[in-house]
Amino acid sequence: MQKETGIFIRNYMLYILRWIVLALVIGVICGILGALFYNGVALVTWLREENEWLLYLMPAAGLLIVFMYVKLDLVGAGTDTIIDAARDGSQLRFRLIPAIFFGTLLTHLTGGSSGREGAALQLGGDIGSHVGRMFRLDEDDMKIVTMTGMAAFFSALFGTPLTATVFVSFFVAVGHVYSAAMFPGLISSVAAYAISRELGMQPFRFAVVMPEFQVLMALKVLLLAALCGLVSSLFIETLHLTKRMYKRFVRNPYVRVIVGACLVILLTKLVGTYDYNGAGTNVIKAAIEDGTTHPLAFLFKIIFTALTLECGFKGGEIVPTFFIGATFGCVMGPLLGIPATFGAAIGLTATFAGATNSIIAPICLAVEAFGGGGILYFAIACAVAFTTSAYDGLYASQIIVFSKVSAHRLDMKAGHIPYEHPRRGIRKAMQKTAEAAAHTDVEDPRSRMKKELRREKLERIMEFGRKRDAEKARRQAGQEEAERHQPDKHSC
């Protein structure tokens, strides 16, 4: 027993040591590349602000991005591809790294409305996958190392290692926590953050005055968070609608990206400002620290981002989500009796929670970005927005494991509509659930229930057969024993 315990302890410590080494390797690589990417986005943003004529090169940049993805056989590859790899342990192609890197820079250079975290998740996941392949990890460990890379690059860009670790551990499958990814993810995130900050990255930080906790203010925050959940659903549905409209009316990807670029240029001239081009971090800062923004800024950002990303440009949706939430909270907060700056901070975290179907990561973001004050307000806001956003999500590959309002298991992809059925009419409700799940590659509850019943029936049959054979063998042994002790009739 002592020998077995010693072997277990040795193997366990070796496993921990291996993850520490892997996490540090990934953290160093992602920290360096993350700082390079961060400074690259900052540079092209400065160039665009200093040279407004670069906006007119957006169609040419779009053509170059589409051409690059077609020639590299990466059409359709994106954040959903990384999420699938994190869930099933599949390998990723190295050429996705330069494609998303330069595609995002071109988008920001010419005024496309997008973020940078989509590139962070893709770049980090791809780096983690290739490091895992170098160390010859098995399929299960490839899932963890992919999420470790995603967390590291996210941390390198935003300077939020705790948020990055929790986010990638929770958002792949809502209701299921990849706890094994948290230890290497935190190590790699801290390492990447430290390196990236030394190389010029400015952390995602804001100075906000937090009010003391009061029940009335908590009720106001609850109402604002509920509205933010609905705004996040509006943003997601606008993305989906724009994608369908593009594909329906402009089937050629090259023509599509030209049309999208021209629409962004036209809208930029119509609104008379460049606030909605690029990531818009200056607008986010003004809303949170100064409490100033345009009343319709969140709607303009929704439209600009949908037109940009769904026609073929690259980047991410989370920074636009921050923009939408902060500006909406800044406008709606004072109407509810909430200070504008505090309302912007609540709006940012709540909209992030609703759009990504997460609770814990947005709370961590509030701690890291706003200093940890008013944590109860942020917790209430994130929980409410998570619930009111229903099952919409920025990422179609995200799996909703459990219902948000009941104990039912759903196992469906984000964006599909489940049927929260009462006790009556359960048969009809399950049939509707099966029809909704038929559009995904996730097994619907009705089929899963049938398989479980068949498996239980088979186990009962096998158990009955084993008992019958045992009883038959017992009787046969008894008969043989009786025959041995019975006197021979011919001996008399």
Q: What is the pLDDT of residues 461-486, one digit of tens each?
A: 667 667 777 777 777 777 776 666 66
> Is 453 contained in some domain?
no
Instruction: Give residue-wise pLDDT tens across range 146-164.
Output: 999 999 999 999 999 999 9
Instruction: Give residue-wise pLDDT tens across range 157-203.
Output: 999 999 999 999 988 888 888 888 999 999 999 999 999 999 999 99
Residue 55 DSSP label: G
> Is 486 contained in some domain?
no
What count of residues does the chain have? 492
What CATH number is attached to the domain comprising 251? 1.10.3080.10
Nearest-5° angle of CA 132, CA 135, CA 140?
50
Helix (H) or strand (E) holding 217: helix 215-249
Q: What is the rounded distance in angstroms from the CA atom of residue 48 to the CA atom of residue 301?
A: 18
Helix (H) or strand (E) holding 30: helix 2-50
User: Does residue 142 share a domain with residue 55?
Assistant: yes
Q: What is the rounded distance in angstroms from the CA atom of residue 116 to the CA atom of residue 226?
A: 27
User: Does residue 148 share a domain with residue 19?
Assistant: yes
> Is 492 contained in some domain?
no
Note the pLDDT of residue 7. 80
> Is 340 contained in some domain?
yes
Domain final residue, candidates 166, 198, 230? 198
Note the pLDDT of residue 418. 59
Note the pLDDT of residue 441. 47
Calculate mean pLDDT across residues 382-409: 85
- Average predicted confidence (pLDDT) for the chain: 86
**Domain of 284?**
215-388
Q: Is the pLDDT of residue 219 over 70?
A: yes
User: Does residue 190 share a domain with residue 258?
Assistant: no
User: Does residue 191 share a domain with residue 227?
Assistant: no
Q: Is the pLDDT of residue 29 over 50?
A: yes
Of the candidate ranges 111-120, 173-182, 415-424, the one whose mean pLDDT is the lowest:
415-424
Q: Is the pLDDT of residue 227 over 50?
A: yes
* 8 A C-beta contact, residue 327 and residue 298: yes
Q: Is the pLDDT of residue 417 over 70?
A: no
User: Does residue 230 share a domain with residue 344?
Assistant: yes
Backbone angles phi, psi at 336, to 5 degrees: -100, 5
User: Does residue 137 share a domain with residue 60?
Assistant: yes
User: Does residue 344 share a domain with residue 234?
Assistant: yes
> Is 421 contained in some domain?
no
Domain count, the chain: 2
Calculate mean pLDDT across residues 389-413: 81
Note the pLDDT of residue 421. 44
Percent of the chain with pLDDT strictly greater than 90: 58
User: Does residue 186 share a domain with residue 253?
Assistant: no
- Number of Cβ within a 10 Å radius of residue 81: 19
Q: Is the pLDDT of residue 380 over 90?
A: yes
Q: Is the pLDDT of residue 454 over 90?
A: no
Residue among 116, 122, 186, 187 nearest 157 (CA): 116
Q: Is the pLDDT of residue 453 over 70?
A: no
Note the pLDDT of residue 435. 53
Nearest-5° angle of CA 383, CA 387, CA 390?
150
Q: What is the rounded distance in angstroms from the CA atom of residue 304 to the CA atom of residue 271?
A: 11
Q: Is the pLDDT of residue 442 over 50?
A: no
Q: Is the pLDDT of residue 425 over 70?
A: no
pLDDT band at 85 (very low <50, low <70, confident <90, very high): confident
User: Does residue 104 share a domain with residue 73?
Assistant: yes
State pTM to two decimals: 0.82
Count Cβ neighbours within 10 Å for each residue of 317-335 and write b for 16 or more, e otherwise.
bbbbbbbbbbbbbbbbbee
